[in-house]
């Protein structure tokens, strides 16, 4: 399969440091977004370690093999980050969320830990492929918080899973058929907290990936850009 893709990361308007990292490897059908955990030390170290590990994976035409290799790499990074955190005299967490996409042989697979999200646009419809690993998502599913109140909840930034967050790393995966014309979007919560899916569809369907990303980041900036924002978009040609 052939792809038209683009990616970009922006520090936003309220943060001094960009703790996000993006990866774009269309030659092997791999994309990823990593969001260093804000409020913790060295979030940028965690996100960079994730992207560097995924960038070093060997090229393969088998989606399952590539996802398995990505999972092994993330487990290794998880152990590395835990070791780095313990080496400091002060207790701390060096962590990052991650969402990745693999496309090969007419199949896609998304893998993730945390609240960075993946979407698929097919025709005029957008579908969120990932489920947030977050406290608020758990509260929504328990019926304790209304879905429309989730983004503004005071604990909206609390994730329950991340690379570097715990001794055991569990990565969720979802897969399905990839069709010509499908468009996939990966994003940190710097986008998804201020731009709704309908607005994403409008940009993605009407523009090429690079233009769509520029338009979405401009929209985030116009709304105050309270966090780093990172986006990767892939269109199956």
CATH at residue 79: 3.60.40.10
Query: CA separation (Å) from 166 to 76, 92, 159, 163, 229?
Result: 13, 12, 12, 8, 25
Range of the structural domain that residue 211 is part of:
3-236
d(C-alpha 231, C-alpha 187), whole Å: 5
Alpha helices in the chain (DSSP H): 43-55, 63-87, 135-141, 189-192, 197-206, 209-222
> For residue range 27-60, what is the model confidence (pLDDT) as tens digits?
999 999 999 986 555 899 999 999 999 999 998 8
Q: Are 203 and 165 in contact (CB under 8 A)?
A: no
pLDDT at 28: 93
CB neighbours of 202 closer than 8 A, spacing ≥ 6?
none
pLDDT at 134: 93
pLDDT at 69: 96
Tally of domains in the chain: 1
pLDDT at 88: 75
pLDDT at 185: 98
Distance of CA 222 to the CA centre of its chain: 22
Predicted TM-score (pTM) of the model is 0.94
Q: Are 1 and 30 in contact (CB under 8 A)?
A: no
Residues of the chain below pLDDT 70 = 38-41, 91
């Amino acid at each position: 399969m052939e792809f038209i893709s683009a990616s970009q990361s922006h520090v936003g308007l309220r943060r001094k440091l960009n703790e996000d990292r993006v990866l774009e490897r269309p030659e092997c059908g791999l994309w990823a977004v990593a969001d260093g955990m804000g409020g913790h030390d060295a979030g940028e170290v965690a996100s960079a370690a994730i992207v560097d590990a995924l960038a070093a994976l060997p090229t393969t035409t088998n989606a399952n093999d590539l996802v398995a290799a990505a999972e092994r790499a993330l487990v290794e990074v998880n152990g590395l980050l835990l070791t780095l955190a313990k080496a400091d005299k002060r207790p701390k967490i060096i962590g990052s969320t991650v969402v990745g996409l693999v496309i090969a042989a007419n199949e896609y697979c998304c893998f993730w830990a945390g609240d960075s999200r993946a979407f698929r646009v097919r025709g005029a419809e957008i579908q969120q492929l990932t489920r947030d690993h977050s406290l608020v998502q758990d509260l929504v599913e328990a019926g304790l918080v209304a879905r429309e109140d989730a983004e503004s909840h005071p604990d909206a930034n609390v994730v329950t899973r991340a690379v570097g967050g715990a001794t055991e790393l569990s990565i969720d995966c979802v897969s399905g058929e990839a069709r010509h014309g499908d468009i996939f979007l990966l994003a940190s919560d710097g986008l998804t907290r201020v731009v709704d899916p309908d607005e994403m569809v409008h940009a993605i369907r009407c523009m090429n990936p690079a233009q769509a990303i520029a338009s979405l980041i401009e929209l985030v900036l116009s709304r105050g850009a309270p966090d780093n924002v990172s986006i990767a978009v892939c269109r199956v040609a």
